[in-house]
C-alpha cells in the first residue's frame, strides 16, 4: 500500500498506520488485498458475486472487524456484497467505510451492499465513514445499502458519517425487527459545492417491544442538496423515534420527508424534523466569547456534527 492508500484508510478508520486489531479485510480498487481472520471471526470470499461473508461465532465478546474499502483508480465502478452472520449472544464492533481518491476526469463509484443477520441476543456496533478526496473533475460517488435483520433480543447500533468530498450519494438503510430488538441509527452528513445526498430509511417494527431511534444531523452548504426520507412501520406494540435536524447555509437545500405508519393501537411512533440556518443568538453567544463570526459558525457546525 502506498501513502495515498494509508492516508485514505486513516480517514475512514481513524487508525494511524495500517495495523488493524482483530479480523479485517481490506479491499482496494475492487479486489481484496489483505485479510486476517481470528478464532471467532471468519471471512470468506463469495463465489457468485463480488464480496465477502463474515461469520461471527456465537458468544464472541468484544471483538472488532474492519472491512475498509479504498478506491484510487479513476473510472472504477465497484459493487460489493458483504453479508454479516452474527451468532447468538455475540457482541462485536464492525468498522466499515469507503475512501475514494480521484485525481482524474472519470467518475469513481463504490456501492457497498451490507446485510446483517443477527441471531438471538447478539449485539453489534456498526460504524461506517465515507470520504472523498482528489483534484480531478471525475465525481466521487458512494451508494451504501445497509439491511438489518434482528432476531429476538438482538440489537444493532449504526453510526454513519459522511463529512467531506463525496459528490453524490444515495444511502439506503432498511431494518426488520423481531421481538425485544433495538435498532439505533445516527447519521451525520455534510455537503458542499454541487454535491447531493439522499438518505432513505425504512424500518419494520414487527416484534413486540421492538424499537428504533434514528437521528440524522446534516449540514448543506453552498449549492448542495440533501433529502432525508424515512418510513417507520409499527405493526405491533413497539416504539419508533425519527429525528431529522438540518442546518442550511448559502444556497443549500434540504428536503425532509417523514412517514410513520401505525398498524397497531400500541405502536408509538414519533417523527421530528427541523431545518434552518444557524440561529443568530447562537452566533452572538459565541462572539461574546471572543470568536469571530466565521469561527463561531464553524464551532456550531462542528458541535452539531460531532
Partner 1 sequence: MLEIKDICFTRDNKKILNHVSLNIDTDKFVAITGPNGSGKSTLVKMIMGIEKPDTGKVLLEGKDITNLSIDERAKLGIGFAFQQPVKFKGITVYDLLKLSSGKEINKSEACEILSKVGLCAKEYVDREVNNSLSGGELKRIEIATVAVRNSKFTIFDEPEAGIDLWSFQSLIKIFEDMRKIVKGTTLIISHQERILNIADEIILMKSGEIEAQGSKEKLLGQVLEKPTCCKLGGQDNG
Q: Point out which residues bind partner 1 (CB under 8 A).
A: 217, 245, 279, 281-282, 284-293, 296, 299-300, 303-306
Nearer to partner 1 by Cβ, of 222 and 293: the residue is 293
* Residue 129 beta carbon to partner 1: minimum distance, rounded to whole angstroms: 18
* Residue 282 beta carbon to partner 1: minimum distance, rounded to whole angstroms: 5
Candidates 77, 62, 67, 79; CA nearest to 23 is 67
What are 43's three cell numbers?
Answer: 471471512
Grid-cell match 457546525, residue found: 301
Candidates 157, 166, 231, 225; CA nearest to 187 is 157
* Interatomic CA distance for residues 12 and 10, integer angstroms: 6
- Cα separations (Å) of 135 from 28, 102, 129, 138, 139? 19, 7, 20, 9, 10
Nearer to partner 1 by Cβ, of 119 and 245: the residue is 245
Nearer to partner 1 by Cβ, of 150 and 296: the residue is 296
Based on C-alpha coordinates, what's the Rg of the chain?
20
* Residue 115 beta carbon to partner 1: minimum distance, rounded to whole angstroms: 31
Nearer to partner 1 by Cβ, of 170 and 305: the residue is 305
Q: Is 200 exposed, middle or buried (0-12, 13-18, 19+ CB in 10 A)?
A: middle
Nearer to partner 1 by Cβ, of 180 and 245: the residue is 245
Nearer to partner 1 by Cβ, of 251 and 293: the residue is 293
Nearer to partner 1 by Cβ, of 19 and 288: the residue is 288
Distance from the first to the final alpha carbon of the chain = 30
- Within the chain, residue ranges assigned H as helices are 3-13, 280-288, 293-304
Candidates 80, 97, 86; CA nearest to 12 is 97
Element (H, E) at 271: strand 267-276
* Residue 287 beta carbon to partner 1: minimum distance, rounded to whole angstroms: 4
Q: How far is CA 31 from the centre of its chain?
A: 22
* Residue 296 beta carbon to partner 1: minimum distance, rounded to whole angstroms: 8
Grid-cell match 458475486, residue found: 49
* Residue 306 beta carbon to partner 1: minimum distance, rounded to whole angstroms: 5
* Residue 75 beta carbon to partner 1: minimum distance, rounded to whole angstroms: 38
Amino acid at each position: 500500500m502506498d501513502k495515498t492508500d494509508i492516508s485514505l484508510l486513516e480517514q475512514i478508520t481513524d487508525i494511524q498506520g495500517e495495523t488493524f486489531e482483530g479480523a479485517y479485510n481490506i479491499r482496494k480498487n475492487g479486489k481484496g488485498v489483505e485479510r486476517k481472520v481470528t478464532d471467532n471471526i471468519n471471512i470468506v470470499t463469495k463465489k457468485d458475486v463480488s464480496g465477502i461473508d463474515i461469520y461471527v461465532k456465537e458468544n464472541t465478546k468484544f471483538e472488532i472487524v474492519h472491512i475498509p474499502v479504498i478506491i484510487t483508480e479513476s473510472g472504477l465502478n465497484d459493487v460489493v456484497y458483504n453479508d454479516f452472520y452474527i451468532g447468538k449472544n455475540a457482541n462485536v464492533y464492525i468498522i466499515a467505510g469507503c475512501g475514494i481518491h480521484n485525481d482524474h476526469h472519470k467518475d469513481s463509484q463504490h456501492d457497498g451492499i451490507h446485510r446483517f443477520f443477527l441471531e438471538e441476543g447478539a449485539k453489534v456496533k456498526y460504524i461506517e465513514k465515507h470520504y472523498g478526496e482528489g483534484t480531478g473533475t471525475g465525481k466521487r460517488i458512494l451508494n451504501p445499502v445497509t439491511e438489518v435483520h434482528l432476531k429476538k433480543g438482538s440489537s444493532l447500533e449504526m453510526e454513519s458519517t459522511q463529512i467531506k468530498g463525496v459528490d453524490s450519494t444515495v444511502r439506503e438503510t432498511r431494518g426488520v425487527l423481531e421481538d425485544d430488538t433495538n435498532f439505533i441509527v445516527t447519521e451525520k452528513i455534510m455537503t458542499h459545492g454541487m454535491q447531493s445526498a439522499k438518505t432513505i430509511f425504512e424500518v419494520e417494527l414487527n416484534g413486540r417491544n421492538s424499537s428504533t431511534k434514528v437521528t440524522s444531523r446534516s449540514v448543506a452548504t453552498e449549492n448542495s442538496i440533501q433529502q432525508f426520507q424515512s418510513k417507520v412501520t409499527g405493526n405491533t406494540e413497539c416504539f419508533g423515534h425519527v429525528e431529522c435536524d438540518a442546518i442550511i447555509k448559502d444556497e443549500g437545500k434540504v428536503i425532509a420527508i417523514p412517514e410513520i405508519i401505525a398498524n397497531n393501537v400500541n405502536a408509538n411512533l414519533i417523527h421530528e424534523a427541523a431545518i434552518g440556518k444557524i440561529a443568530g443568538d447562537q452566533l452572538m453567544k459565541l462572539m461574546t466569547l471572543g470568536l469571530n463570526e466565521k469561527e463561531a459558525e464553524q464551532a456550531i457546525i462542528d458541535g452539531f456534527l460531532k
